[in-house]
Amino acid sequence: MSVGMILLMVTAILVFFGVAQRVLDKLYLTDRAALVLIALMFFGTLLPSVSLGRVRISLGGAVIPLGICLYLFIRADTGREKVRAVLGSLITAGIVYAVGVLMPEEPESIIVDPMFLYGIAGGAVAYVLGRSRRAAFICGVTGVLLADTAVAFMNWRNGIDQPLVLGGAGVFDAAVIAGLLGVILAELVGEVLERMARGTTPPQQTAIENPVRRRRSQR
């Protein structure tokens, strides 16, 4: 079982027990909808990819995640958030692609699986550029898939006839890591900032009058 599938299982458990309710509210998803989408991604990766020439598209690794990104993009609160999501996805893709280019060619010299590095780099950049939970998820997932597409185009340009498996096993792991990490960072940092703001703001007095207290004051 791949790392991406394990992370999906852990996420499903957290959703089932209501731990991720706050994040789901920010993503405009219910518990049931989130569990259904996670199941579609999980079992969709086990289905054969759809072939379109030299491109193979995984249902669970590409179609469902991109569908979620499209939904989050449509539900974005402001136009500025949508712009951040688009620009952030492109910049995230460029940085993930650059990480792949700078990676040593000898597999023996790499301690960590490159897909972990792609996912971590993509998730960190996605949070910085996306800021919100929705935009961070979009940047992380879309950025990794765009970077994989760019690698395939460069291979074709150099005469390497290698098919593009969009959302394949390794890329799926990196996309899941990037998307979840971006959301987690946005949630943690957002929670810290909100608590800091609440700590410096004096509590507001309620507008509801207490008739008993008012009578006592009049005496």
Here the tokens at position 131 are 């800021």
Tell me: the pLDDT tens digits for 12-52? 999 999 888 888 998 999 999 999 999 999 999 999 999 88
Within 136-212, strands assigned E span: 164-166
Q: How far is CA 60 from CA 5, 47, 168, 175, in A?
A: 10, 8, 9, 11
Contact 77, 101 (CB under 8 A): no
The DSSP 8-state label assigned to residue 135 in this structure reads H
Instruction: Please give the model's pTM, rounded to 2 decimal places.
Output: 0.83
CA 1, CA 187: separation in Å to the nearest integer?
27
**pLDDT tens digits along 83-100:** 999 999 999 999 999 988
Predicted pLDDT of residue 137 = 94
Q: How confident is the model at residue 64 (pLDDT cuts 50, 70, 90)?
A: very high
**Local structure of 1: helix, strand or coil:** coil
State the Cα–Cα distance between residues 131 and 20, nearest whole angstrom.
18
Q: How far is CA 135 from CA 83, 126, 211, in A?
A: 9, 8, 48
How does 136-160 read in b/e, with b if 16+ C-beta sit within 10 Å? Answer: bbbbbbbbbbbbbbebbeeeeeeee
Q: Which residues contact 82 (CB under 8 A, 6 or more apart)?
A: 73, 76
Beta-bridge partner residues of 51? 56
Res 101 pLDDT > 70: yes
Provide the 3-class DSSP secondary structure of residue 50. Answer: strand
* Residue type, position 58, single letter: S
Residue type, 1: M
- Confidence (pLDDT) at 206: 45
Residue 46: closest CA among 148, 169, 177, 160: 169
**Among positive and negative, which fits the CA dihedral 68, 17, 199, 213?**
positive
Place of tokens 């952030």: 88
Residue percentage of the chain with pLDDT more than 70: 84
